[in-house]
């Protein structure tokens, strides 16, 4: 049976409007455009700003994933007939329907943090005769009532891997999720869970996803420049700010740091902040040397340069060479094999 995406898309979707705003497009007002988008392959925003603004918004907070990315994740998940699956993030209910088609005699549970979206998914799945259990709750906690699962799939990006997902997956089971550190928009991770309570896996391509609500990046406004320590450097490491693989590697070594750029498009001022420690840094480009300002308990720019130099010295590896090991205590990134962990560049100021 072919699962039609349009059968799950809500009557109101969100499209790009003027001046950077997203605006609602109602099915009754423009049925042809709505149908073209609903039956297309591109992602569709079904909520912005957590549903707080009915007329216009800025940030998509729920969507129907692009078709190519849905297919890639389902291939990595490798669902078999009879599989017991937990999905994190119900969205429209479309992905849960695809899972139900594949597992056939198994069971699909999908958990959604937003009650309005959960209700829509529940009604759409029922209307289309898919026997999926829809739960309104915090997906980072999993859903122990139906554990252990053979497969867990997340359709929202996580900043770290909730260990509850490992605990609720049986040994040999698989977890597929987009992992999005603050330096990049995310990469697909496929984990295999082991009987000792650990999980190992590799990354399999870029994956731009909306983040889990409680995994969103914190905001931080830097202090005045007068408070900063001023130094100079000859290195202008713009590549982590513009290149996915460079940013991915740097992000694993200086986690929870937020990059930014300001000013000239060709040689902008580079910005870096770590909200938890209230540390910040900036590099203002010059002719042969560049001015670095740093403030807070961490010397963020030193950490960034060290991480970037490591990536260059390692031969500029792409993100598919990176893997991760998850234990109850920590999550460790490695290059090629778990025996080659990536270094941590976190240093305290002297």
Mean pLDDT for the chain?
92
pLDDT digits (tens, 9 = 90+) for 201-256: 999 999 988 888 888 876 655 555 567 899 999 999 999 999 999 999 999 999 88
Q: Which pLDDT does position 348 carry in this prediction?
A: 33
Q: Which pLDDT does position 220 carry in this prediction?
A: 59
Alpha helix positions (H), the chain: 31-38, 67-77, 94-103, 115-127, 163-167, 239-242, 244-253, 300-313
* Domain match, 74 and 204 both: yes
Confidence of residue 347 (pLDDT cuts 50, 70, 90): very low
* Domain match, 46 and 174 both: no
Q: Which pLDDT does position 349 carry in this prediction?
A: 30
Taking the CA atoms of residue 260, residue 263, residue 268 and residue 272 in that order, the dihedral angle to the nearest 10 degrees is -20
* Domain match, 287 and 301 both: yes
Q: Which of 64, 87, 105 is the last residue of a domain?
A: 64
pLDDT digits (tens, 9 = 90+) for 35-45: 999 999 999 99
pLDDT digits (tens, 9 = 90+) for 1-24: 789 999 999 999 999 998 889 999
CATH number of the domain to which 132 belongs: 3.40.50.150
Grouping H, G, I as helix, E, B as strand and the rest as coil, residue 320 is: helix
d(CA 340, CA 242): 26
Q: How many helices (H) and strands (E) does the chain have?
A: 8, 18
* Domain match, 184 and 290 both: no
* Domain match, 249 and 125 both: no
pTM for the structure as a whole: 0.92
Q: Which of 24, 45, 64 is the last residue of a domain?
A: 64
pLDDT digits (tens, 9 = 90+) for 274-307: 998 999 999 999 999 999 999 999 999 999 999 9
In this structure, are residues 333 and 319 in contact, taking their beta carbons and an 8 Å threshold? no
As a whole number, mean pLDDT of residues 182-197 equals 93
pLDDT digits (tens, 9 = 90+) for 133-161: 999 999 999 999 999 999 999 999 999 99
* Domain match, 104 and 83 both: yes
Q: Find where tokens 């669902």 sit.
A: 79
Q: Which pLDDT does position 84 carry in this prediction?
A: 97
The answer to whether residue 11 is domain-embedded is yes
Domain count, the chain: 3
* Domain match, 87 and 193 both: yes
Domain that holds residue 96: 67-210
pLDDT digits (tens, 9 = 90+) for 25-66: 999 999 999 999 999 999 999 999 999 988 889 989 999 999
d(CA 186, CA 69): 12
In this structure, are residues 238 and 259 in contact, taking their beta carbons and an 8 Å threshold? no
Is 90 exceeded by the pLDDT of residue 167? yes
Q: Which pLDDT does position 321 carry in this prediction?
A: 97
The answer to whether residue 10 is domain-embedded is yes
Is 50 exceeded by the pLDDT of residue 350? no
């Amino acid at each position: 049976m072919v699962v039609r995406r349009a059968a799950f898309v809500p009557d109101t979707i969100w499209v790009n409007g003027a001046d950077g705003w997203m605006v609602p497009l109602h099915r009754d007002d423009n049925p042809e455009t709505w149908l073209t988008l609903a039956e297309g392959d591109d992602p569709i925003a079904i909520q912005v700003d957590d549903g707080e603004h009915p007329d216009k918004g800025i940030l998509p907070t729920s969507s129907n994933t692009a078709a190519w990315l849905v297919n890639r994740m389902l291939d990595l998940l490798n669902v078999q007939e009879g599989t017991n699956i937990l999905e994190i993030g119900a969205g429209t209910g479309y992905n849960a329907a695809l899972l139900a088609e594949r597992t056939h005699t198994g069971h699909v549970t999908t958990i959604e943090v937003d009650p309005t979206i959960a209700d829509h998914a529940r009604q759409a799945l029922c209307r289309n005769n898919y026997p999926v259990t829809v739960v309104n709750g915090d997906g980072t906690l999993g859903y122990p009532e139906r554990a252990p699962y053979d497969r867990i799939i997340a359709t929202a990006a996580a900043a770290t891997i909730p260990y509850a997902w490992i605990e609720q997956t049986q040994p040999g089971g698989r977890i597929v999720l987009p992992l999005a550190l603050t330096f990049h928009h995310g990469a697909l991770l496929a984990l295999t869970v082991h009987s000792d309570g650990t999980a190992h896996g590799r990354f399999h391509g870029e994956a731009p996803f909306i983040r889990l609500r409680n995994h969103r990046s914190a905001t931080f406004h830097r202090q005045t420049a007068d408070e900063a320590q001023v130094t100079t450097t000859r290195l202008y490491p713009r590549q982590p700010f513009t290149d996915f693989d460079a940013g991915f590697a740097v992000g694993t070594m200086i986690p929870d740091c937020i990059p930014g750029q300001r000013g000239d498009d060709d040689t902008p001022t580079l910005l870096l902040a770590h909200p938890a420690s209230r540390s910040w840094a900036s590099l203002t480009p010059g002719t042969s040397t560049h001015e670095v300002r740093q403030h807070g308990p961490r010397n963020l720019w030193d950490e960034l340069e060290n991480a970037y130099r490591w990536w260059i010295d390692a031969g500029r590896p792409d993100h598919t060479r990176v893997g991760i090991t998850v234990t109850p205590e920590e999550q460790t990134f490695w290059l090629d094999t778990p025996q080659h962990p990536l270094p941590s560049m976190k240093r305290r100021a002297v």
